[in-house]
Amino acid sequence: MTSRSFDAPVTAALFDASGQAAFALGDGTVRFEDGSVAEVHDGAVLSACLHPSGRGVVTGGDDGRVVWSTPDQAQELADAHGKWIDAVAGSPESGLIAFSSGKTVTVLDPADPHYRRDFVHERSVADIAFEPKGRKLACATYGGVATWFARIETQKPTFLKWAGSHTRVLYAPDGAFLLSAMQENQLHGWRLKDSKDLRMGGYPAKIRDMVFFDQGRLMATSGAHGVVVWPFVGAGGPMGKEASELGFEEGVAVVRVAAAPRGPMLAAGLADGRVWAMDVRTGPQRWIVAERGAPVTALAVREDGGRLAWGREDGEAGVADLAT
């Protein structure tokens, strides 16, 4: 494992298409595994995602700027004039980038500098996600999730209602389900073909992370003392099924989860700074970071499941090989 020590909290960890790790930090920089540093924000990085091309990282800052950084250069994509950029998302399929600032979600096309779509909501938007084909965009807000066609300028959204504040949103890889984490220690979902509600409760803590893996057959979430794993097999997905809990640690919450999209490799970051990984088909869990410390704030597994990147609130970070 290669360890790093930064002077600011790690906001996000990601792997680009080349397999290189990148870390977005609370000091406004993006730091690449090869040692390159992009100083891109006057303040903290609040959100980050991969660029749709797979090259580099798109970040949103508390300076209101959206920036695309690679080891060679940094390019400003948008400026919200000081409004915090709460969430960013990119779609490899459509090539689009979206970001949220307050009540407004904006869609950009990097291939067309004049392209811009602004979608305004009644309440602030906490998180955004493109559907798998990149044609629609889901926006988590108070009272439910709004979905928009990403390229249509004038439209009314479809609003999936569920009382409470929605803080995270995620599409299933096949586009059949939409999941939302809530402020109230709950996970909610909808089967999109008929808007049927999925009630997925029982969490002792707020769900900060969720991810699909194993070719979309499983979804993992934080919010408990182990990783909560829901089955998504068949037309009903998790309906009528129970979740399992992996890597249970009494008194210690899982705060971050990451996984290989098409494989069985799952990783968890804990509130006490430790990190483990597991092949859910063969097990058992393997401690990647066994030393306790500040809470894990960022976690990523490379697409092929071969490497893991992690970061903590105190700036400690690292990259580890998961190959056996």
The 3-state DSSP class for residue 195 equals: coil
Residue 56 identity: G
* The residue to which tokens 């629609």 are assigned: 136
The 3-state DSSP class for residue 174 equals: coil
Residue 238 CA to residue 217 CA, distance in Å, equals 10
DSSP letter for 240, please.
T
Residue 62 CA to residue 51 CA, distance in Å, equals 19
Question: Do 303 and 224 belong together in one domain?
Answer: yes
Is the Cα torsion angle 192, 193, 199, 204 positive or negative in sign?
Answer: negative
77: in domain = no
209: in domain = no
Closest CA to 167 of 188, 148, 150, 147: 188
**CB under 8 Å to 321, separation ≥6 — which residues?**
1, 306, 307
Length of the chain: 324
Question: Do 91 and 198 belong together in one domain?
Answer: yes
C-beta of residue 189 within 8 angstroms of C-beta of residue 198: yes
Question: Do 172 and 260 belong together in one domain?
Answer: no
Which of residues 70, 105, 121 is at a domain's end? Answer: 70
- Tokens at residue 187, please? 């996970």
7: in domain = yes
Question: Do 109 and 175 belong together in one domain?
Answer: yes
Residue 145 CA to residue 155 CA, distance in Å, equals 16
C-beta of residue 58 within 8 angstroms of C-beta of residue 46: no
Which of residues 202, 235, 250 is at a domain's end? Answer: 202
Maximum alpha-carbon separation in the chain: 53
Which of residues 70, 94, 124 is at a domain's end? Answer: 70
Closest CA to 206 of 167, 247, 249: 167
Residue 317 CA to residue 33 CA, distance in Å, equals 11
- Tokens at residue 72, please? 């060679």
Domain residue limits at 48: 1-70
Question: Do 247 and 179 belong together in one domain?
Answer: no
pTM of the prediction?
0.95
**How remote is the C-alpha of 254 from its chain's centroid?**
15
**Considering its fold, how many domains does the chain have in total?**
3
- Tokens at residue 287, please? 């401690």
Question: Do 102 and 194 belong together in one domain?
Answer: yes
Tens of pLDDT along the chain (324 residues) come to: 899 999 999 999 999 999 999 999 999 999 999 999 999 999 999 999 999 999 999 999 999 999 999 999 999 999 999 899 999 999 999 999 999 999 999 999 999 999 999 999 999 999 999 999 999 999 999 999 999 999 999 999 999 999 999 999 999 999 999 999 999 999 999 999 999 999 888 899 999 999 999 999 999 999 999 999 999 998 888 988 899 999 999 999 999 999 999 999 999 999 999 999 999 998 889 999 999 999 999 999 999 999 999 999 999 999 999 975
C-beta of residue 20 within 8 angstroms of C-beta of residue 306: no
Closest CA to 65 of 92, 91, 36, 38: 38
